[in-house]
Amino acid sequence: MTSTAEAIQSAGSGQLHDPSIRGFASDNYSGVHPEILSALASANGGHQVSYGEDVYTARLQEVMEQQFGPGIECFPVFNGTGANVLSLQSLLPRWGAVICASTAHINMDENGAPERIGGIKLLQVPTEDGKLTPGLIDREAWGWGDEHRAQPLAVSITQTTELGTCYTPEEVRAIADHAHAKGMKLHMDGARLANAAAHLGVPLRTFTRDAGVDILSFGGTKNGLIFGEVVVALNPEAADGLKFLRKMNMQLASKMRFISAQFIALLEDGLWLRSAAHANAMATRLRTSVEAIDGVEPTQATQSNGVFAILPAGVADRLRQSFAFYDWDAARGEVRWMCSFDTTEEDIDAFVAGIKQELGSA
């Protein structure tokens, strides 16, 4: 327990937390990559035109084109919820609906923002691994012309999924072709897009633009940024009104250069891939370690930076006294362990030792 004197001393130095505390609850728990902090410092000082008319946001457009090709449009925003709502709004008329996996972030973890702020009906499809298929999409892809039904006009997939699984480029292409053939557009929630690229070993555009994705929410916060995501209209003809929707939805940053500068630093020399590959590698190390422990039952393929497993009753609660992590399905004892760009091998080994200790005491 930190004493009052220690807390005051720490507060005086500007640090209110114990940086030695590590956990596996979320890749949002980690700090900011030092290279990102350096980029922010470099972008500071002097004056730049506000609301995206600065040189950093102009450079970000060029950097994104290096990843996805010419003819795209980029819209930096504050957060992933905003990016998803904006993206989906731009694809749909007022009467449009979106088909998504029941586990999708837009359905489970955005407090109704697509419905309440975007006015968008979500048509949910249960999946075993978080991934949609053309066949699963067809469970809700019907009723066009029926005035009593919200019209299915878009599909949203998450890369990687909320269950840590990854779509291959071929799977994305199959979904895109199926959706487009039915007059629907395709959105990709890419909060962990970099982790998918690291797992697949292919360029970002291979499983996004080249695979038929119309609009992308490109995540940065989970990969070492302070804050910020980018809506990338890969097919600008499919999206409408993003310039206006961003302001209407309170996602237009006045000092946008500080979002853009972070993404430039992330993308220009491969930091995005190095950080994501490291997080994935730490999750693989954790998965390999727990597979050898009796009493731990992994439930999903580990294809990114997350491990899902079932623990015996009571073990998770005792383990959380030393390490932060979340329940995924408390009814079946399923938990989620997330790794970050700054997770170390020592972190993994200490956590595995804790799991063994708690299982031994059980």
Q: Which amino acid makes up residue 130?
A: G
Phi-psi domain of 58 (left: phi exceeds 0; alpha: psi -120 through 50; beta: other): alpha
**What does the pLDDT read at residue 2?**
47
The torsion angles phi and psi of 77, rounded to 5 degrees, stand at -135, 175
pLDDT digits (tens, 9 = 90+) for 317-351: 999 999 999 999 999 999 999 999 999 999 999 99
Which of 265, 227, 262, 256 is CA-nearest to residue 80?
227
pLDDT digits (tens, 9 = 90+) for 251-263: 999 999 999 999 9
- The whole-angstrom separation of Cα 350 and Cα 70 is 46
Contacts of 248 (CB under 8 A, 6+ apart): none
Residue 308's nearest CA partner among 126, 101, 165 is 165
Q: Whose structure tokens read 């114990």? A: 18
**What is the structure's pLDDT at 362?**
57
Cα–Cα distance, 285 to 300 (Å, whole number): 15
- Summary mean pLDDT of the chain: 95
Other CB atoms closer than 10 Å to residue 65's CB: what's the count? 14
Residue 316 is given by DSSP the state H
- The 8-class DSSP code of residue 23 comes to B
Structure confidence at residue 8 (pLDDT): 43
Q: Per residue in 163-192, pLDDT tens?
A: 999 999 999 999 999 999 999 999 999 999
Residues 220-246 pLDDT 10s: 999 999 999 999 999 999 999 999 999
pLDDT band for 12, please (50, 70, 90 cuts): low
Q: What is the DSSP string of 260-313?
A: HHHHHHHHHTSHHHHHHHHHHHHHHHHHHHHHTSTT-EE-S---SSEEEEE--T
pLDDT tens digits, one per residue of 89-121: 999 999 999 999 999 999 999 999 999 999 999
Given this structure, which CATH class describes domain 4-30+271-361? alpha beta
Q: CATH 3.40.640.10 in the chain, residues?
A: 35-268
CATH assignment, 35-268: 3.40.640.10
Give the CA angle between residues 308, 154, 178 to the nearest 5°: 85
Range list for CATH 3.90.1150.10 in the chain: 4-30+271-361
Q: What number of other Cβ atoms are within 10 A of residue 349's Cβ?
A: 13
pLDDT of residue 7: 46
User: In this structure, are strands 96-101 and 121-125 parallel, antiparallel, or unpaired?
Assistant: parallel
